[in-house]
Chain A
């Protein structure tokens, strides 16, 4: 069935209170660190103080004799993972790399890399035990900067990594793990045709996802090897699979229970603690709780890449872009896997380019292995491309919005990386920007306005859902996706819509790995799309069963009944004259008509629609302090269908705020020894309430026909444009083009100081 006609919807599109909300505003909700078990021990991790060092020896004898210490674990406890077992299911991660990230093997590859762990009867004793573990290091030269790491004589992190994607295959190992390339047309010819060329270099610093909840888990391994994991993650099936592979256990021996999760943004789509807690629990015979400190989160968990992006654009005087070339160099951290490929693809996807080439390099360096961060790769590439498009607009003296209207992707445009766009909403975001009250509002002197666009492909994938009709006619829906943003409300809305029951009658539950079928992680903006598809199909299967039961009650053929508005009716006068039966009436007779009424569905969702967005940002810059005040912000996005509009707005607003922090203040500060100097929220400066204005949102609904309700993923694309929107606004306000993030006060002050005096006086 299709529910694409908005006017026929009763519940989807309304804004009820989320079913898990009361627990969250009263402190009852259980997050990863909130559980305890009898006999529980506390785990702590010993971490390398060096950015790059060979581990010569580890001696744990003294730690084991400290009263209260019940177990110590080192690399020696963890199995090697043979090549054919390094990938599991459709999950994207190399588990041998992940295993060596959780516990260093042979070398410490970044400051904070775990080298040992202990479990003791109190956190304090565990801390003391760490000091008793003796580790001998041979310090090696380290490298942080992405271009320094690419140099042929750079210190090598791994001697068995050879650059993939170049011919002939290299024989010398390198920190460049791969090169990717996408092309369309002939860029050299395109540049020759251009009247104007703009060529610039942009840089970004690594930034952390910044979830307020540190990683936490409670793991209990019994003497029979059966294990329970309670942890905060973006995927309990991921936790189960990765822990099983890293620890050498069967998947079925592990029950992974998803705690409520205090933010992830991609950073909790992998694990750090669970395998260590597993080993400690196995060795001690007791449950082990491990919670990271904020300092550990910064030192040892994946930020996203820092990068260098070079952009060259050629255009005719009338504004048509004739060619684009981008080169992206992304830090991967200690193991391969930066999102450089997505950076290449997404930053050009917004445009209809006759000739384009994009090249990306994934580069190892001595810092924590990068983890996904909301639209991984895309914000960095788009900061560069959207800034360069703005610089091009200024050279051409064409309004930046008009330049995007001329060159923007439309129905039928072929993207640089291959696909042809259908059912996309990019043009509508430009139209809405053009018509917006924001754009029409004049600026005061000293203020500036910036525009930027963005794209994210979104994801589908594996989801399972079960829909149970309870004896009193209420409904329990079990699905497998941790709820990071209010998705349970949307699941309940969709099921209640299909079944024709009140929203309050549907209770959505996120099941653990023993309670529901396999479900891929919460991420990629996939849950409302794929999870929503699964719960809708499960509810529809239930309706088929409800109709059968009504037929049994009336003693007529199952073909002679129909379902309408939450009730079963005889299908026409020939079927018989029966009063319609409601869901709860049928539910009450379930046992007598065939047994429990339930349906379970497992899908691999295809057809996710991409998301496009355009942002408008107004700023005011204080010349004396370099402080940039965000005066006004409007985010315009093609959301497909807003199942619960408040939570769609919330995704847009949250992505904007993270982008603003990335633009203006957030960065990792290292000393000359590769040690992090700002591992805390005081000096790693994220936006606070007084930094932000209200964030206006305009939701455009171009339904995705591949989803029963027309939904598209919405969570990631909002973080893609803000850095360029802010940089473009600063350029508009001051005439100064900032090409290196973050655009923090000292950098703006330095830019003002470097200005020719005449311009400063004119402002």
Chain B
């Protein structure tokens, strides 16, 4: 069985990989390209731990085939920070302790970045509904929502007080 050759752009860099027809984009990111930041929590698009941004939209990479990435632009959690400089969402997650085990965190970071790229001033309710596709079992979501709202404030040029000492 011969593999398919896929050309794509991942985190701003052109990338090529080989994959079998049935491999999902998540499988390809993790097993063919060594980008293990995106996680498999369910394999059926229900938990959001595999969230990536594909051509500007948040998608579950477990619901996309690797071959469907041909010619597309993908951003994974590994591409959210700029070198050493964390994205405001990442920084606020740390300050607010918005993660405990951290397994769902990559999916949330990606989904939250996508929210704030589109909506500079989301309400608490808008934020909760946008992130309803990302499951967290550890935090009860409280600190996650606070972190995202604070990150939005930072991106609007405001300076919200930080809970971190």
Contact = CB atoms under 8 A, between A and B. Distances in A.
Nearest to B109: A25
Contacts of A690: 125, 128-129, 131-132
Nearest to A29: B102
B122 interface: no
Nearest to B38: A27
Given A262-B39, A653-B140, A680-B44, A124 B22 contact: yes
A14 B44 CA distance: 40
Nearest to B37: A27
A247 to B, nearest CB: 27
A24 B136 CA distance: 14
A293 interface: yes
A34 B77 CA distance: 14
A213 interface: yes
B103 A212 contact: yes
Interface in B63-122: 76-78, 80-81, 86, 90, 93-97, 99-106, 109
Contacts of B158: none
Contact of B80 (A26, A265, A485): A26
A15 interface: yes
Nearest to A486: B100
Interface stretch (A51-59, A511-519, A654-662, A749-757): A654-662
A650 B143 contact: yes
Contacts of A649: 97, 143
B135 A25 contact: no
B141 interface: yes
B49 A293 contact: no
Residue from the set A20, A644, A657 with the largest chain B CB neighbour count within 10 Å: A657
A33 B36 CA distance: 9
Contacts of A18: 94, 97
Contact of B41 (A24, A294, A651): A294
Nearest to B1: A124
**Chain A at the B interface: SS class:** loop
B14 interface: no
A263 B103 contact: yes
A161 to B, nearest CB: 33
B163 interface: yes
A125 to B, nearest CB: 10
Interface string A680-702: 11100011111010110000000
Contact of A680 (B38, B46, B134, B145): B46
Interface string A1-43: 0000000000000111110111011111111011010000000
A12 to B, nearest CB: 11
Residue from the set A24, A25, A649, A656 with the largest chain B CB neighbour count within 10 Å: A25
A291 B128 CA distance: 31
B140 A692 contact: yes
A26 B81 contact: yes
A232 to B, nearest CB: 9
For chain A, give the interface size range: 35 or more
Interface in B140-154: 140-146
Contacts of B90: 22, 25-26
B163 A213 contact: no
A647 B142 CA distance: 12
Contact of A263 (B22, B43, B76, B137): B137
A124 B137 contact: no
Nearest to B124: A694
A650 B100 contact: yes
Contacts of A646: 96-97, 143, 163-164
A260 interface: yes
B139 A650 contact: yes
A261 interface: yes
Contact of B95 (A17, A124, A657, A658): A17
A650 B97 contact: yes
Contacts of A36: 31, 34
B141 to A, nearest CB: 4
Contacts of B22: 124
A656 B140 contact: yes
Given A262-B39, A657-B141, A25 B99 contact: yes
A627 interface: no
B141 A31 contact: no
Nearest to B165: A14
A210 interface: yes
A485 B41 contact: no
Contacts of B46: 680-682
B20 interface: yes
A214 interface: yes
A657 B139 CA distance: 8
Contacts of B97: 15, 18, 486, 644, 646-647, 649-650
Contact of A27 (B76, B129, B143, B146): B76
Given A25-B109, A213-B101, A681-B44, A689 B141 contact: yes
Given A15-B163, A214-B41, A124 B20 contact: yes
Contacts of B132: 688-690
Contacts of B40: 33, 214, 291
Interface string A278-318: 00000000000001011000000000000000000000000
A124 B95 CA distance: 42
Contact of B144 (A29, A265, A485, A689): A689
Given A26-B90, A214-B41, A690-B129, A34 B100 contact: no
B28 interface: no
Contact of B137 (A15, A29, A212, A694): A212
Interface string A122-152: 1010000000000000000000000000000
B134 A658 contact: no
Interface in A398-438: none
B139 A27 contact: no
A485 B93 contact: no
Contact of B104 (A212, A214, A265, A692): A212
A294 B129 CA distance: 24
A210 B104 CA distance: 12
Contacts of A654: 100, 137-140
Shortest beta-carbon contacts, A-B, top 6:
A27-B37, A262-B103, A24-B102, A657-B140, A646-B97, A653-B140
Interface of B: 20, 22, 30-31, 34-44, 46-47, 49, 76-78, 80-81, 86, 90, 93-97, 99-106, 109, 125, 127-129, 131-146, 163-165
Given A657-B140, A695-B142, 13 more contacts: A15-B163, A24-B102, A25-B77, A25-B102, A26-B86, A28-B37, A214-B41, A262-B102, A485-B138, A650-B139, A653-B140, A653-B143, A681-B47
5 contacts: A16-B165, A294-B44, A650-B100, A650-B143, A689-B136
